[in-house]
Amino acid sequence: MGPGDAGDPAVDDVEVIRVGGDARLAGTVHVVGAKNSALKLMAAALLAPGRTVITNVPRITDIAIMGEVLRRLGCLVRFEADDPVDPMVGHGGQARSRSVVIDVPEQPGADADYDLVRRLRASICVLGPLLARRGYVRVAHPGGDAIGSRGLDMHIAGLARMGADVSGEHGFVIAAAPDGLRGAEIMLDFPSVGATENLVMAAVLARGVTVIDNAAREPEIVDLCTMLNRMGARISGCGSSTLRIAGVPALHPVRHATVGDRIVAGTWAFGAAMTRGDVTVTGIDPACLEVALDKLVSAGALVETRGDAFRVRADDRPTAVDVVTLPYPGFATDLLPMAIGLAAVSDGASLITENIFDGRFMFANEMTRLGADIKTDGHHAVVRGRDRLSGAPVRATDIRAGAGLIIAGLCADGVTEVSHVHHVDRGYPDFVADLRALGVKVERGTAPEAPELTI
């Protein structure tokens, strides 16, 4: 029987990362700009005709796709070497950050199609700026994904409040405000990161004052508001749950450096505690990881902070701690897979509660393939720690689950092979080189894709 015949389903290769177990992370790692900031800063460039330059942008797939989204909207987008150059270059691999130069036309396009939006859910953040600039926008609805249902109702209700006529048709969100947007009082049901960003970017060019209550307070939102204010916007209350935005007639382009990635930094922090390692992380204000670092202290790690750096050292097996994810400044949902990994090797039982995404525990089944003892019930998981996990082939289902599985593999006997690591490439620039710089035996390769089970 030949390939493609019945009984021999065609297989494609997938990208895998293999890590050796019984590893200990030790050394210094530098984190570059945050994915979830840089993506929105790139969208914000649409608000001003002319040349915007954003530096410290991570070299990851999602940023490349966002560049493509902007090109399709008529922008010229070019990536350049960063200045200063990422200090990890000397540790192997290529620069993890670069600068993006975006030339925005007087009249950008107003359509973002499904072929790009489905590859990058964050493309939805062009909705606000394009509506503000063009008075009309049509963006594909991204739908749900591996971590949950991901609604858009708050984006839509807020824009409608500002006078837009918003409808859904053939899988698109269509918004029109031919006479421009007007300031409005908006109370979000939940401090949604994406809704806050879209509404701020719409409000900066609206007539009058917009007040967003129960706004998200993430450092990436502060970064966006800082750049917008430097472009001439009038936003006050940045970093608080009430944002007041006085609309202005036009904005001008600027040069702006992306804030450091607290989730990448947090990944290394958990990795250090789980492997009884000693890791110094630079390029990040430790204050934006306060709750996460405090959990590691409760788990028995020693944490030192100084300026734009912190160090996590652990000599003993972690003690079990409970974790509850919440909007910032609470424990970040994007660190949930790392919290489960920590719990899986801790002494005792941990109760982990996820409050942001309804599908975030989906990856727990992969963690149990590594021997983790996890019982989930709705948005809670009880994890009973084991002294050691057991290396196995597992599958990354999203960016953070992929990173969490790789870090968990460091605490296993034998080799762990994580497949579908294109997810990890979406959020972690050169994860393999960083692991190697921290002393891990790691390789990247391909493996045949196992056919999906049909029942």
Active site residues: 145
Q: Least Å distance between CB 453 and ligand EPU?
A: 26
> Which range, of 35-43, 133-141, 235-243, 311-319, touches ligand EPU by CB under 6 A?
35-43
Could you tell me if 402 and 15 are in contact, meaning their C-beta atoms sit under 8 angstroms apart? no
Q: Which of 150, 234, 436, 441 binds ligand EPU (CB under 6 A)?
A: 150
Q: How many residues bind ligand EPU (CB under 6 A)?
A: 25
* Contact string 224-243 vs ligand EPU (x = CB under 6 A): --------------------
Residue-by-residue DSSP string for 145-205: BTTB----HHHHHHHHHTT-EEEEETTEEEEE-TT--B--EEE-SS--HHHHHHHHHHHTT
Structure tokens, 170: 């053939």
314 sits near ligand EPU (criterion: CB under 6 A): no
- The continuous run of DSSP H or E covering 297 comes out as helix 290-298
Distance CA 40, CA 43 (A): 5
Residue closer to ligand EPU (CB basis): 144 or 451: 144
Which 347-376 residues touch ligand EPU, going by CB under 6 A?
A: 356-357
Under rule CB under 6 A, residue 212 binds ligand EPU:
no
400 contacts ligand EPU (rule: CB under 6 A): yes
Nearest-10 crossing angle of helices 35-44, 61-72: 10
Nearer to ligand EPU by Cβ, of 185 and 189: the residue is 189
Using CB under 6 A, pick the residue from 42, 77, 152, 309 that binds ligand EPU: 152
Candidates 77-85, 151-159, 407-415, 430-438; binding stretch for ligand EPU (CB under 6 A): 151-159
Q: CB of 197: closest distance to ligand EPU in angstroms?
A: 7
Nearest to 339 by CA among 329, 317, 328, 324: 324
Q: Does 155 bind ligand EPU (CB under 6 A)?
A: yes
CA-angle at 295, arms to 409 and 401, nearest 5°:
35
Q: By CB under 6 A, which span of 150-158, 307-315, 408-416, 431-439 interacts with ligand EPU?
A: 150-158
Question: Residues 6 or more apart from 448 whose CB is under 8 A from it?
Answer: 11, 12, 13, 14
Task: For residue 390, list its beta bridge partners.
Answer: 413
Report in angstroms how near the CB of residue 249 gets to ligand EPU at its nearest: 28
36 lines the binding site for ligand EPU (CB under 6 A): yes
SS3 141: coil
Q: Which segment (51-59, 77-85, 146-154, 225-233) binds ligand EPU by CB under 6 A?
A: 146-154
Q: In sequence order, what are the residues at sequence separation of 6 or more whose Cβ sits closer than 8 angstroms to the Cβ of residue 189?
A: 154, 214
d(CA 385, CA 371): 10
| Token pair recorded at residue 297 | 């202290």
Of residues 27, 135, 151, 232, which one binds ligand EPU by CB under 6 A?
Answer: 151
**Residue 41 makes contact with ligand EPU by CB under 6 A:** no
The answer for residues whose C-beta is within 8 angstroms of residue 5's C-beta and 6 or more apart is none
Q: Minimum CB separation from ligand EPU for residue 221, in Å? A: 9
Q: What is the DSSP letter of 232?
A: T
**Residue 192 binding ligand EPU, by CB under 6 A:** yes
Query: Given the rule CB under 6 A, which of 100-108, 190-198, 229-237, 270-278 is the region that contacts ligand EPU?
Result: 190-198
Identified binder of ligand EPU from the candidate list 205, 427, 428, 442, rule CB under 6 A: 427
* Cα–Cα distance, 256 to 222 (Å, whole number): 13
| Window contacting ligand EPU (CB under 6 A); options: 24-32, 47-55, 191-199, 412-420 | 191-199
Q: Is position 202 an interface residue for ligand EPU (rule: CB under 6 A)?
A: no
Q: Does the footprint of ligand EPU cover residue 333 (CB under 6 A)?
A: yes
Applying the rule CB under 6 A, the residues between 250 and 309 that interact with ligand EPU are none
**Strand ranges (E), 177-284:** 185-187, 209-213, 234-236, 242-246, 255-257, 278-282
153 or 443: CB nearest ligand EPU = 153
Helices and strands counted in the chain (H then E): 14, 26
134 vs 400, beta carbon nearer ligand EPU: 400
Could you say whether residue 39 binds ligand EPU (CB under 6 A)? yes
Q: Does 190 bind ligand EPU (CB under 6 A)?
A: yes
Distance of alpha carbon 37 from alpha carbon 189, whole angstroms: 23
Residues that bind ligand EPU (CB under 6 A): 35-36, 39, 122, 147-155, 190, 192-195, 333-334, 356-357, 399-400, 427
